[in-house]
């Protein structure tokens, strides 16, 4: 796919640990090829004790920008010159742009998450939402829901302290206008799902190569007025999404958020409109080949 790399090729990439599983190189390199850009996207495995060295070397190496993934999204914060308001609000950075004014930290996860909802005509303002899980991805999701003024966000968390931290984030971002609470995976959660219009799974339950038939909640909790959004994208149709579609729910899979957060990073670095369809096809083709080679 990459034609050739020369002294004029612009380099971007992703810092993570591990990073070999990342689909971002496939997605971005397909986009560069489609637009005829002399750019390349490289995965950089960076151990936690090497993050400072890696980030401080970006500018000197002429690297134009990087995505940041697990486990570095919070560790890079003190290493940057400026943060966008979104990144500052949720204390998480997934994209660094190397600019003349220094290193600028963005979070495109939340806008990527919201764009898939907007494209399906779902209005977050005024909605009652249930979020399953309270880890790193949930931070961006909850920040986005609160900034869009969801009426309520019920965090279903097995570790209450992590849920409470995100409930506090929702209150802060929405300036008290989004009601946020934490419940365990029990009847309280079941009741919240019954009242909700949007259910978001941010747990890894159902993700390959683990038990792909597992669901984070019993299918009997679902109702057909729910929009069910699963951040897991391997497999693309998780057991949760399969069950939801089976009873007539609308669904959104994790590829949508992956592609939209990547598209925004692509535009921040290149200044070009991202070729969304190409990026989505690259990810989908890769996932299809990967799943057929496992079988």
Chain residues in the site for ligand NAP (CB under 6 A): 70, 133-138, 157-159, 162, 202-205, 207, 216, 231-233, 254, 257-258, 261
Enter the tokens of residue 96.
């660094």
Closest CA to 150 of 126, 168, 131, 167: 126
Angle at 91 between CA 87 and CA 96, to 5 degrees: 45
What's the min distance (Å) between Cβ of 188 and ligand NAP? 15
CA 148 to centroid of chain Cα atoms: 17
User: Which is closer to ligand NAP, CB of 176 or CB of 219?
Assistant: 219
Give yes or no: 217 in active site. no
User: Which helix (H) or strand (E) is 83 found in, with range?
Assistant: strand 82-83
Given 28, 73, 106, 115, the catalytic residue: 73
C-alpha distances in Å from residue 198, one per residue of 114, 180, 201, 229: 12, 14, 10, 8
Q: How far is the CB of 206 from ligand NAP (least distance, A)?
A: 8
Q: How far is the CB of 162 from ligand NAP (least distance, A)?
A: 4
**In the complex, what is the shortest distance from the CB of residue 104 to ligand NAP, in angstroms, rounded to a whole number?**
21
Angle among Cα 226, 228, 233 to the nearest 5 degrees reads 175
Question: 288 forms bridges with which residues in the sheet?
Answer: none
Comparison of 36 and 255: residue with beta carbon closer to ligand NAP? 255
Decide whether 124 or 207 has the Cβ nearer to ligand NAP: 207
Q: What is the strand order of the sheet 10-16 is part of?
A: 39-45, 10-16, 65-68, 95-99, 102-106, 82-83
CB-CB contact of 259 with 109 (8 Å)? no
CA dist 229 and 226 (Å) reads 9
Return the number of the residue (3 or 267) whose C-beta is nearest ligand NAP: 267
Nearest distance from C-beta of residue 238 to ligand NAP, angstroms: 9
Distant-in-sequence, close-in-space partners of 231: CB < 8 Å, separation ≥ 6: 113, 137, 141, 200, 201, 202, 254, 257
Residue 67: strand pairing partners: 14, 95
CB of 14 to ligand NAP, least distance (A): 13
Residue 222 CB-half CA count within 13 A: 26
When the beta carbons of 65 and 216 are compared against ligand NAP, the nearer one is 216
Q: Which residue's CB is nearer to ligand NAP, number 191 or number 271?
A: 191
């Amino acid at each position: 796919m990459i034609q050739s790399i020369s002294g004029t090729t612009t380099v971007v990439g992703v810092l993570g640990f591990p990073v070999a599983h990342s689909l971002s190189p496939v997605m971005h390199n397909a986009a560069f090829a489609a637009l005829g850009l002399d750019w390349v996207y490289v995965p950089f495995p960076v151990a936690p004790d090497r993050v400072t060295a890696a980030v401080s070397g970006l500018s000197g190496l002429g690297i134009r920008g990087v995505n940041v993934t697990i486990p570095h999204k919070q560790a890079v914060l003190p290493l940057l010159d400026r943060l966008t308001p979104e990144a500052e609000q949720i204390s998480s950075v997934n994209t660094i742009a190397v600019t003349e004014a220094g290193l600028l930290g963005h979070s495109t996860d939340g806008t990527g998450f919201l764009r898939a909802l907007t494209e399906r005509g779902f209005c977050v303002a005024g909605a009652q939402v249930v979020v399953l899980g309270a880890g790193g991805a949930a931070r961006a999701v909850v920040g986005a829901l609160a900034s869009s003024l969801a009426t309520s966000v019920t965090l279903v968390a097995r570790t209450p302290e992590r849920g409470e931290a995100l409930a506090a984030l929702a209150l802060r971002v929405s300036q008290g206008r989004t009601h946020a609470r934490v419940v365990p995976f029990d009847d309280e959660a079941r009741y919240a799902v019954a009242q909700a219009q949007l259910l978001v799974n941010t747990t890894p339950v159902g993700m390959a190569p683990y038990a792909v038939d597992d669901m984070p909640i019993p299918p009997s909790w679902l109702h057909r007025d729910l929009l069910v959004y699963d951040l897991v994208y391997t497999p693309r149709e998780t057991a949760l999404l399969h069950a939801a579609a089976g009873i007539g729910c609308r669904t959104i899979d994790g590829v949508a958020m992956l592609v939209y957060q990547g598209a925004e990073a692509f535009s921040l670095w290149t200044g070009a409109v991202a070729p969304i369809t190409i990026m989505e096809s690259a990810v989908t083709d890769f996932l299809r080949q990967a799943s057929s080679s496992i079988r």
